């Protein structure tokens, strides 16, 4: 990411920075990978280390099914009922040693702050709107927004109305804009499907100089601890650096199109350790006169492919609906279902909108995923004779 500064800052790091009453602000170095990667510096009114009490809230470790037969899966998230808030309502559908895929149909507003120290988060707001308060300031979000939140960020989501469908991807490694889109200085290059202006860091920094009892739920080592702080945790008067949450709307992704079918990497939006996030957006289709505009069959023998469909207009796939998830695991080929290739010929554009996660290591799924499975999906490639 790039350098951003918000609020009041002293002229130099690590010098006296005084409040109007003459006291010192507390400087905090916020880093996500020791002292050797990106970092930010924040200035607090109160001590961010001060805690009134803490309470053990138990394990939040995902429980995966260890042994599963190999097959394509179709999950129908429309079968989920609104549950909990943006944190407690997370239902882990799958995960591996690199990331978790949590589905959320948010029922309630959050009445506490949250901090995930196990991983960076990439939220995807399928529908709804609202704003996120955070250590780094406020981000207003809307339908189609990805919100990337560095680990350690204290935040609270506020929705304009509920329920709201969202994904919460937790990445144990750093979530970044793909390196191949950036030059040696980190700037996005001309072939990238977005520019810096499309990324929305916090726009304003409300300062909360309040004392009381403020709850911050911390996830660490797959365990939850509820901290009570004697002052508002969002008491930052200024910060600068390269670590901060930001939003990016899927409709600001500029699809790359071609004369003949373009491979999935052209849809890449983010990279993590062991996975990529891609955006399939409305776009013009391949313009060779004999082009086949849907993908060929492919054998992702070293990659699990998971798609979340924001609508039911995915050209190469039949039987999916808004909110569907398909999991095409490594080891067996997948591609358009019978008839889809013929049906696509001559199409000039697509209205598909989907988020894809491709992993390098296999996903393990959860019972919650199987509970909303369409058991006949694997049969959708059978040719009627
Ligand atoms: Fe694929």
* 192/294 same-domain check: no
* 197/275 same-domain check: no
Query: pTM for this one?
Result: 0.97
Last residue of one domain, picked from the residues 235, 250, 265: 250
Q: How far is the CA of 6 from the centre of ligand 1 (A)?
A: 41
Per residue in 305-338, pLDDT (tens digit) is 999 999 998 877 778 999 999 999 998 999 998 9
Please check whether residue 130 lies inside any domain of the structure: yes
How far CA 319 is from CA of 74, 233, 324, in Å, comes to: 9, 47, 9
Please check whether residue 63 lies inside any domain of the structure: no
Per residue in 200-216, pLDDT (tens digit) is 999 999 999 999 999 99
Give the per-residue pLDDT at 359.
97
Q: How far is the CA of 329 from the centre of ligand 1 (A)?
A: 10
Please check whether residue 325 lies inside any domain of the structure: yes
Q: How far is the CA of 91 from the centre of ligand 1 (A)?
A: 25
Q: How far is the CA of 309 from the centre of ligand 1 (A)?
A: 14
Q: How many domains are contained in the chain? A: 2
Q: How far is the CA of 299 from the centre of ligand 1 (A)?
A: 8
Q: How far is the CA of 142 from the centre of ligand 1 (A)?
A: 28
Please check whether residue 215 lies inside any domain of the structure: no
Please check whether residue 346 lies inside any domain of the structure: yes
* 148/261 same-domain check: no
Q: How far is the CA of 314 from the centre of ligand 1 (A)?
A: 12
pLDDT at 42 over 90: yes
Please check whether residue 367 lies inside any domain of the structure: yes
Please check whether residue 73 lies inside any domain of the structure: no
pLDDT at 354 over 90: yes
Q: How far is the CA of 7 from the centre of ligand 1 (A)?
A: 45
Residues surrounding ion ligand 1 at CB below 5 Å: 305
Per residue in 161-203, pLDDT (tens digit) is 999 999 999 999 999 999 999 999 999 999 999 999 999 999 9
Q: How far is the CA of 269 from the centre of ligand 1 (A)?
A: 16
Q: How far is the CA of 86 from the centre of ligand 1 (A)?
A: 30
Please check whether residue 276 lies inside any domain of the structure: yes
Q: How far is the CA of 304 from the centre of ligand 1 (A)?
A: 9
* 297/195 same-domain check: no
Q: How far is the CA of 22 from the centre of ligand 1 (A)?
A: 61
* 85/190 same-domain check: yes
Report, as an integer, the average pLDDT of 116-140.
98
Per residue in 65-100, pLDDT (tens digit) is 998 999 999 999 999 999 999 999 999 999 999 999
* 194/308 same-domain check: no
pLDDT at 253 over 90: yes
Q: Which CATH number fits the domain that encloses residue 135?
A: 2.60.120.10
Q: How far is the CA of 123 from the centre of ligand 1 (A)?
A: 22
pLDDT at 274 over 90: yes
By residue range, what is the domain housing residue 188? Answer: 80-204+244-250
Give the per-residue pLDDT at 301.
78
Q: How far is the CA of 298 from the centre of ligand 1 (A)?
A: 6
């Amino acid at each position: 990411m790039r350098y951003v500064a918000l609020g009041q800052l002293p002229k130099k790091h690590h010098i006296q920075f005084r409040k109007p009453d003459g006291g010192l602000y507390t400087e905090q170095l916020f880093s996500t990978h020791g002292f050797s990667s990106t970092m930010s510096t924040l200035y607090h009114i109160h001590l961010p280390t001060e805690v009134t009490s803490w309470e053990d809230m138990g394990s939040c470790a995902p429980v995966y099914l260890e042994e599963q037969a190999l097959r394509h899966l179709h999950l129908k998230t429309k079968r989920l009922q609104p549950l909990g808030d943006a944190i407690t309502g997370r239902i882990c559908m799958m995960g591996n040693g690199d990331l978790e895929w949590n589905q959320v149909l948010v029922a309630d507003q959050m009445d506490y702050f949250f901090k995930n120290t196990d991983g960076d988060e990439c939220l995807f707001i399928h529908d709804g709107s609202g704003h996120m308060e955070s250590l780094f300031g406020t981000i207003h979000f809307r339908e189609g927004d990805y919100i990337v939140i560095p680990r350690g960020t204290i935040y609270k989501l506020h929705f304009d109305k509920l329920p709201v469908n969202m994904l919460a991807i937790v990445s144990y490694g750093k979530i970044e804009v793909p390196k191949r889109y950036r030059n040696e200085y980190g700037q996005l290059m001309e072939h990238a499907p977005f520019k810096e202006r499309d990324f929305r860091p916090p726009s304003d920094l409300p300062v909360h100089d309040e004392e009381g009892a403020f709850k911050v739920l911390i996830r660490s080592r797959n365990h939850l601890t509820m901290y009570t702080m004697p002052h508002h945790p969002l008491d930052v008067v200024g910060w600068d650096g390269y670590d901060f949450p930001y939003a990016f709307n899927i409709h600001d992704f500029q699809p790359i199109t071609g004369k003949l079918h373009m491979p999935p990497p052209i849809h890449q939006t983010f990279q993590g350790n062991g996975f990529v996030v891609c955006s399939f957006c409305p776009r013009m289709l391949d313009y060779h006169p004999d082009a086949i505009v849907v993908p060929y069959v492919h054998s992702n023998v070293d990659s699990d492919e998971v798609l979340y469909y924001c609508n039911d207009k995915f050209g190469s796939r039949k039987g999916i609906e808004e909110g569907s998830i398909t999991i095409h695991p490594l080891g067996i080929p997948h591609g358009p279902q019978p008839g889809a290739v013929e049906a696509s010929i001559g199409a000039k554009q697509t209205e598909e909108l989907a988020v894809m996660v491709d992993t390098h290591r296999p996903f393990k799924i959860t019972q919650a995923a199987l509970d909303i499975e369409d058991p006949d999906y694997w049969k959708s490639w059978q040719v009627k004779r």
